[in-house]
Amino acid sequence: MSVSGVEALDLPVDLRSYTHLGHYRTHVRIMTERTGLTPDPADPEDLRQTVSQQGIFLELLYSAISRITSVQEDLISRIKNTTQTIAKLTELQDRSAPVPTAISGNNATSASTLTPENVRLQPEPFFGDVSACGGFLLQCDLIFLQAPRYYQADHARISLIVNSLRSKALQWAQAFLAAHPITHLPFDRFLGEFRLVFDQPRKQEEATRRLLSLKQGNRPVSEHLIDFRILAVEAGWPDPALKGIFYQSLNERIKDHLCTQPEADTFYELVTAALRSDLRLRERLTEQESKPPSTLVNPVRHVPLVAPASPVSPSVKLEEPMQIGHSKLSFEERKKRRDEGLCFYCGQAGHQVSQCVVRLNLRTPR
């Protein structure tokens, strides 16, 4: 067989068209029929060509297997990346899913909305102080919202409150739970009994009374404002009604300073102006206290100089004014004449005792 028979095979043949040896042999047979050549099995040349063709086929088969393996590894890598992407998207969806804020009874949440909960939060200990009851229950409500699944059962909520009680509050809980087992006690019933014992019964009325009687005194306006706002919220009064009450609660010094400023139209403007006035007055007081006191070494006393109208005779004793008849004046009469500017001798106005005509005439010899 000539070399032209091998060339007629047109090797290498397409890898994807021949997946096993049978297809390859069929291709050789068809090409042989087309060329009109009949191979001789005893011919060594034909045997070498056949072995060579088998070697080429094996190389093609190995190359095909390598490519299939590479494609398979690429598909596995793509599947792995797709799986990771799906997992990330699922995690983001779970994080962005809203958690129900109101849970009552034994209602279960969907597994797709589960998020980590902080179950280690604890409120401040409660010792039974009536004024601290509202703040304690507020802390408990916030903890319930932070871990709604953990505290969805009534006994879990009751346990959180009881674990935070101290002193007489814990003694009350011990006595109450002894008569009402926690496993069969609704949370609303426990909370109602707790408020009945430790919460202020007429909280709004008491806050209104304290708000109307609240005064600033010598405290800064900032400290006074904190107490005022707390009582205003507890009393339930709106801001427009608080403007006049807040002004009346300020001390006189702040009111005087507010008179020099434009009138406030709203409660917020009045609060701002009062805080500004208090700051200015306190800064001014600090400046005055920091100045050293002024001292005078030899202060000069300003004594009014009154020149006498005429020299007084040494023989006249003015410290003992006389009436007509040389009788001494009483203390009341002397004070009266001095205040009214009358003569100590004759009691007339318009001159002093040294110029008294009556006195001079009596002393002049006839």
**Domains of the chain, residue spans:** 3-81, 130-198, 220-287, 317-366
Residue 271 has pLDDT above 90, yes or no: yes
Q: Average pLDDT, stretch 22-46?
A: 59
Residue 311: DSSP 8-state: P
Residue 218 has pLDDT above 70, yes or no: yes
Q: What are phi and psi of 287, to 5 degrees?
A: -65, -40
**Buried-state track 61-80, b at ≥16 Cβ within 10 A, e below 16:** beeeeeeeeeeeeeeeeeee
Q: Measure the CA–CA gap between 123 and 164, rounded to whole angstroms.
A: 7
Give the H/E segment covering residue 136.
helix 133-146
Amino acid sitting at position 235? A
Reported residue count of the chain is 366
pLDDT tens column, 114-130 = 677 877 888 999 998 88
What is the pLDDT of the chain when averaged over all its residues? 76
User: What predicted TM-score, i.e. pTM, was given to this entire model?
Assistant: 0.39
Q: Which of 21-25, 155-159, 213-217 has the lowest mean pLDDT?
A: 21-25
Question: Which residues does residue 126 pair with via DSSP β-bridges, in sequence order?
Answer: 165
